[in-house]
């Protein structure tokens, strides 16, 4: 394993924004770095695990991760925490209280906003947390700034005694740039300060802290007016001036190189006086920001006349053509056609799907066979894809851990026509430990009529197979106690005879158990026990193949949804009844097949056979 700290100061390396943040955290002398995996922030902590002189830990969820980082910062060591935008919703309880008390050593919270929803259930603008929690927000625009701004964030944190939010976006997190690295510098040593009036959040203490918080915010605002993180780029055309932040500022600079630009790297508290001075130097101001009109509305509230979302879209990334068109519109010039107005190219649809041999295929196939008899409450993870074809076996999904709680509500309030339908909740192992325990306890406590499918693939699968307390390994690959999910479910109160551990590749048992349990009252839990096929824990079997002479084209195997099975030809045949039926003759791509055998279980004519066996038979025939 390569030690990234070996690169000497002054070296220029090709880094993504996530890698640059990790380097900056190490250079800043951080003692503890925590996170919960979530695209687009995952690689920050994975990279930090390669560095010496600090401890990196996956938290069981974002709240726990932030609380651990807060503890380290109060103890006197610099601390860092990373998560994606929706993770702040989970961590906000700790965040909103600690902002009052402040910190001892530096604490930086990196929040990665998924602008454009490449892998998220919403497009949340995390800059609002800065306003809500009265915290400074710093916005790098590329990987080099990600490194420099992260280091500055620790300095600001300790200068003002406050946590600092580092707002990243998908573009900054994943695009690579040449970055000049520095060296690790150990910060001033600090010890824990015993001060209950500050650290114990009783109402009487918190009341005293609120005025101090407002004073700190005033000082931060004055700091922002002169901060080197805010940069002004001159321009010859002063008919328009642009105020922007983050990667949108780079697009604005490219779209209108002759237009003056005030780029805000320190965007909260907003440097109002500096923006006023900038606005007075141009005829009109355009605010370019992703995604909400936050800066725009604050400037309007301060009495400044600005344009923003009246000429720019409110969702998605702001590309160069979009900004160029907005500038032209404000100037009264012909608008330049943007990609938003161009016809989308005609491409064959490629919806996301589960992997070949995925242990989730069998549960969703079984649910599809019970489709008219159940309502399925889903959760966040690879298995969310069960909502798609060919299974169509997930009816709702809101946020992590919600499947169990929402299933409890569904079981109580079923409407006309749904009275006889059973409620099924689907959740994965990592998600269950992240936020599902309380939901399970709630089902048991309220004696709900819900069948729970706990799909244990021993990884945080959707974000790349990271470790969690149910895998038996930590971030460094070291062995740790592995949570016994079956035992945990029983400890939460599910009766022993209503808890089942099943090999999901044993399709008949999977289907029979699911069918039987949905017919019974009370809470039952079915735990699957095969690892993710993309992890080293998975042991592939022999690949399968299709015996063309036996294949009848029934298409039953296609209902499993395995992408290793592909249709080679379709035929229409007239049945004895006079009806026309389309037959689908298939093949199995042996390079992708993991040999799980689920497709063979549904093949009536037994046309799906082990590839090795078919080859051996062919060799015997040739020999004869």
Q: What is the pLDDT of residue 204?
A: 85
pLDDT at 117: 75
Do residues 544 and 611 lie in contact, with contact meaning Cβ atoms separated by under 8 Å? yes
| Cis, peptide link before residue 291, omega less than 30° from 0 | yes
What pLDDT sits at residue 614?
A: 74
Is 399 annotated as belonging to a binding site? no
How far apart are the two ends of the chain, measured CA to CA in Å? 53
Given a cut of 60, whether residue 264 has pLDDT beyond it is yes
Using DSSP bridges, classify how beta strands 12-16 and 176-180 pair: parallel, antiparallel or unpaired: antiparallel
pLDDT digits (tens, 9 = 90+) for 74-109: 999 999 999 999 999 999 999 999 998 899 999 999
Q: What is the pLDDT of residue 577?
A: 78
Closest CA to 169 of 34, 31, 40: 40
How sure is the predictor about 617, in pLDDT bands with cuts at 50, 70 and 90?
low
8 Å CB contact between 15 and 176: yes
494 Rama sector, left if φ>0, alpha if ψ -120 to 50, beta otherwise: beta
pLDDT value for 620: 56
pLDDT grade for 118, boundaries at 50, 70 and 90:
confident
Please calculate the CA angle 393-437-55 and round it to the nearest 5 degrees: 110
**Which of 109-123, 156-170, 408-422 is modeled with the greatest confidence?**
156-170
Annotated binding residue 268: no
Mean pLDDT of all residues in 187-195: 91
CA distance 150 to 171: 17
The span from the CA of 607 to the CA of 599, in Å, is 10
Neighbouring C-beta atoms of residue 419, cutoff 10 Å: 7
> Order of strands across the sheet with 374-377?
374-377, 422-428, 450-455, 523-528, 499-502
DSSP 65: H
Count of H helices and E strands in the chain? 21, 23
- Residues 272 and 301: their CA atoms lie apart, in Å, by 11
Helix (H, G, I), strand (E, B) or coil at 406: helix
On the CB side of 244, how many CA atoms lie within 13 Å of its CA? 29
How confident is the model at residue 582, as a pLDDT? 87
H/E element holding 129? helix 127-133
Rounded to 5 degrees, what are φ and ψ at 277? -60, -40
Element (H, E) at 425: strand 422-428
Inform me whether the pLDDT recorded for 6 exceeds 80: yes
Prediction pTM value: 0.90
> Is 593 annotated to bind ligand?
yes
599 is in an annotated binding site: yes
User: What backbone phi and psi angles, to 5 degrees, belong to 149?
Assistant: -70, -35
Task: Report the C-alpha gap between 154 and 150 in whole angstroms.
Answer: 7
Contact 534, 355 (CB under 8 A): yes
| Whole-number Å distance between alpha carbons of 51 and 54 | 7
Instruction: Check if the beta carbon of residue 262 is closer than 8 Å to that of residue 241.
Output: yes
What average pLDDT score do residues 209-236 get?
Answer: 92
532 has binding-site annotation: no
Query: In Å, how far from its chain's centre is CA 564?
Result: 27
pLDDT tens figures, 530-553: 999 999 899 988 999 999 889 999
The average pLDDT across 559-587 equals 88
CA distances from 141 to 138, 254, 266, 542 (A): 10, 13, 11, 48
Q: What is the mean pLDDT of residues 147-158?
A: 97
551 among annotated binding-site residues: yes
Q: For residue range 313-368, list pLDDT tens digits in order.
A: 999 899 999 999 999 999 888 876 655 445 556 676 777 889 999 999 999 999 99
pLDDT above 80 (res 212): yes
The neighbour count for residue 232, using CB atoms within 10 Å, is: 15
The whole-number pLDDT of residue 442 equals 96
| Cβ count within 10 A of residue 63 | 22
For 110-114, 197-201, 413-417, which range has the lowest pLDDT when averaged over its residues? 197-201
What is the distance between the alpha carbons of residues 179 and 143, in angstroms, rounded to a whole number? 7
Residue whose pair of structure tokens reads 């900004």 in the numeric block: 323
Find, among 63, 82, 84, 81, the residue nearest to 72 by Cα.
Answer: 81
Confidence of residue 116 (pLDDT cuts 50, 70, 90): confident
| Separation CA 555–CA 569 (nearest Å) | 11
pLDDT digits (tens, 9 = 90+) for 421-463: 999 999 999 999 999 999 999 999 999 999 999 999 999 888 8
Q: Distances in Å between the alpha carbon of 85 and those of 92, 137, 319?
A: 11, 14, 21
| 12: β partners | 180
Q: Is 81 annotated as a binding residue?
A: no
Tens-place pLDDT, residues 45-61: 999 999 999 999 999 99
Annotated binding residue at 173?
no
Put the strands of the sheet holding 285-288 in their side by side order: 230-233, 261-264, 241-245, 285-288, 306-307
What domains, with CATH codes, occur in the chain?
A: 4-226 (3.40.50.970), 230-331 (3.40.50.920), 361-528 (3.40.50.970), 544-623 (no CATH)
Q: How many CB atoms lie within 10 A of CB 358?
A: 29
Average pLDDT, the chain: 92
Q: Residues 174-184: what's their mean pLDDT?
A: 95
Percent of the chain predicted with pLDDT > 70: 96
Closest CA to 145 of 168, 113, 127: 168
């Amino acid at each position: 394993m390569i030690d990234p700290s070996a690169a000497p100061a002054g070296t220029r390396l090709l880094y993504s924004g996530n890698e640059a943040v990790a380097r900056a955290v190490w250079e800043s002398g951080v003692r503890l770095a925590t996170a919960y995996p979530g695209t687009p922030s995952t690689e920050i902590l994975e990279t930090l695990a390669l560095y010496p002189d600090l401890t990196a830990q996956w938290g069981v969820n974002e709240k726990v991760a932030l609380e651990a980082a807060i503890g380290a910062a109060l103890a006197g060591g610099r601390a860092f925490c990373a998560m994606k935008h929706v993770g702040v919703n989970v961590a906000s309880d700790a965040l909103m209280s600690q902002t009052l008390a402040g910190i001892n050593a530096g604490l930086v919270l990196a929040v990665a906003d998924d602008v454009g929803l490449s892998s998220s259930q919403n497009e949340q603008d995390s800059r609002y947390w800065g306003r809500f929690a009265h915290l400074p927000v710093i916005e790098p625009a590329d990987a080099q700034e990600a490194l420099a701004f992260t280091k500055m964030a620790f300095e600001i944190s300790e200068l003002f005694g406050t946590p600092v939010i580092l707002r990243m976006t998908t573009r900054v997190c994943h695009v690579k740039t040449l970055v000049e690295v520095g060296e690790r510098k150990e910060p001033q040593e600090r010890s824990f300060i015993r001060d209950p009036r500050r650290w114990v959040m009783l109402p009487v203490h918190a009341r005293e802290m609120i005025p101090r918080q407002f004073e700190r915010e005033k000082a931060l605002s004055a700091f922002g007016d002169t901060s080197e993180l805010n940069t002004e780029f001159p321009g010859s055309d002063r008919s328009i001036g642009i105020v922007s932040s983050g990667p949108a500022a780079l697009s604005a600079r490219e779209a209108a190189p002759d237009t003056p630009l005030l780029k805000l790297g320190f965007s909260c508290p907003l440097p109002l006086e500096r923006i006023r001075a900038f606005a007075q130097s141009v005829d009109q101001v355009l605010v370019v920001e992703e995604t909400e009109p936050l800066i725009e509305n604050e400037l309007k509230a301060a009495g400044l006349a600005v344009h923003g979302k009246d000429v720019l879209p409110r969702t998605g990334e702001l590309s160069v053509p979009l900004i160029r068109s907005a500038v032209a519109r404000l100037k009264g010039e012909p608008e330049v056609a943007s990609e938003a107005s161009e016809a989308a190219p005609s491409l064959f649809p490629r919806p996301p799907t589960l992997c070949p041999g995925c242990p989730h295929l069998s549960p969703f196939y079984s649910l599809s066979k019970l489709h008219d008899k159940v309502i399925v409450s889903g959760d966040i993870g690879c298995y969310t894809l069960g909502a798609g074809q060919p299974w169509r076996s997930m009816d709702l999904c809101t946020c992590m851990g919600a499947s169990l709680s929402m299933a409890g509500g569904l079981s109580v309030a079923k409407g006309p026509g749904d009275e006889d339908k059973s409620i099924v909740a689907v959740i994965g192992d990592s998600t269950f430990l992240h936020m599902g325990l309380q939901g399970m306890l709630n089902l048991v406590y309220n004696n709900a009529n819900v069948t729970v499918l706990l799909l244990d693939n021993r990884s945080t699968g959707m974000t790349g197979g990271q470790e969690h307390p149910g895998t038996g390994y930590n971030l460094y690959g070291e062995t740790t106690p592995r949570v016994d999910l079956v035992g945990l479910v029983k400890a939460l109160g599910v009766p022993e005879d209503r808890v089942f551990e099943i090999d999901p590749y044993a399709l008949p048992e999977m289907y029979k158990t699911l069918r039987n349990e949905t017919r019974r009252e009370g809470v039952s839990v079915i735990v699957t026990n095969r690892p993710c096929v993309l992890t080293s824990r998975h042991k592939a079997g022999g690949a399968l193949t299709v015996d063309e002479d036996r294949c009848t084209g029934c298409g039953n195997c296609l209902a499993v949804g395995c992408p290793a099975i592909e249709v080679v030809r379709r035929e229409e045949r007239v049945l004895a009844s006079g009806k026309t039926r389309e037959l689908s003759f298939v093949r199995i791509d042996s390079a992708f097949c993991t040999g799980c055998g689920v497709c063979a279980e549904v093949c009536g004519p037994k046309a799906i056979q082990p590839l090795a066996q078919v080859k051996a038979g062919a060799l015997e025939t040739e020999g004869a």
